[in-house]
Amino acid sequence: MCGRYSIGPEIETLVEKLRVALPPDFAPHYNAAPSQHLPVVSNQQSDRVTLYQWGMIPFWAKSSSGQRLINARSETVHEKSTFKRAFRSQRCLVPAGGYYEWKKTPQGKEPYRIILADKLPFVFAGIWQQPGELSATGTPEYSIITTQAPSSIKDIHDRMPVILDEAAWDFWLSDTEDGEGLQDVLRPLDDNKLRAYPVSKRVNNVQNDDAELITPLSNG
């Protein structure tokens, strides 16, 4: 799964590659969390970065409390009633520099930051929807698609967000109806593509949101 990630100044590199405009009010998020308004590039506004709310409130929810779906599984996103419409026609790219997972140890859960081995920023595959009646902000909502984690990080968590290959960015934002092709780009990364390192437990508190959170611990 993916429940926390970071996107800081490295978004400038992604903006250049995507040829999109960055909103003037963009602020770095070193501890991006569900319900926050975070940067995405959607197929509805593919020429700019916009702020969507992380977590889709499903159509069957009776209230917004505790019902936001922050992740969708790549294996079933095309068939689940909650997600299949968005998968067909409402897709987005979610810029990131790294994401966090918590490893279970005898001493408790230890937070790790996971990045690309080459340390470059990347994008998650996302889907989005227009806000429903339960939305308090009227902001479009998104979920991040997840897949199986490669063996190199499975001891931390067996799932990970789908990191899209750069060659698939335009395809993901296109109006294609090639469902099989879309499924095909949601594949796991190779073992040698990721690097994980331990970070401060300060990341456990979503109120902490500073660059220190992405710094490796001294033993990392």
Catalytic site includes residue 2 = yes
Domain membership of residue 199 (yes or no) is yes
Q: Is the predicted pLDDT of residue 64 greater than 90, yes or no?
A: no
Host domain of residue 29: 5-53+68-137+158-214
Indicate the number of domains in the chain: 1
From 10, 92, 101, 141, active-site residue: 101
pTM, two decimals, is: 0.95
Residue 143 lies inside a defined structural domain of this protein: no
Give the separation between CA 172 and CA 186, rounded to whole angstroms: 10
The one-letter code for the residue type at 92 is: C
Residue 179 belongs to a domain with what CATH number? 3.90.1680.10
For 66, the 3-state DSSP assignment is coil
DSSP-derived letter for residue 187 is P
Q: Which tokens go with 137?
A: 């902000």
Asked whether residue 60 is domain-assigned, the answer is no
- Which pLDDT score, from 0 to 100, does residue 66 have? 67
2, 10, 92, 141: the catalytic one is 2
Could you confirm whether 101 is annotated as catalytic?
A: yes
pLDDT tens for 170-216 read: 999 999 989 999 999 999 998 899 999 999 999 999 999 999 999 99
Kindly state the helix (H) or strand (E) to which residue 173 belongs, with its residue range. Answer: helix 169-173
- The SS3 assignment for 15 reads helix
Task: Give 3-state DSSP helix, strand, coil % of the chain, rounded to 5.
Answer: 20, 35, 50
Could you tell me the pLDDT band of residue 133, with boundaries at 50, 70 and 90? confident
Residue 86 CA, distance from chain mean position: 16
At 155-168, the pLDDT tens digits run: 999 999 999 999 99
pLDDT at 220: 43
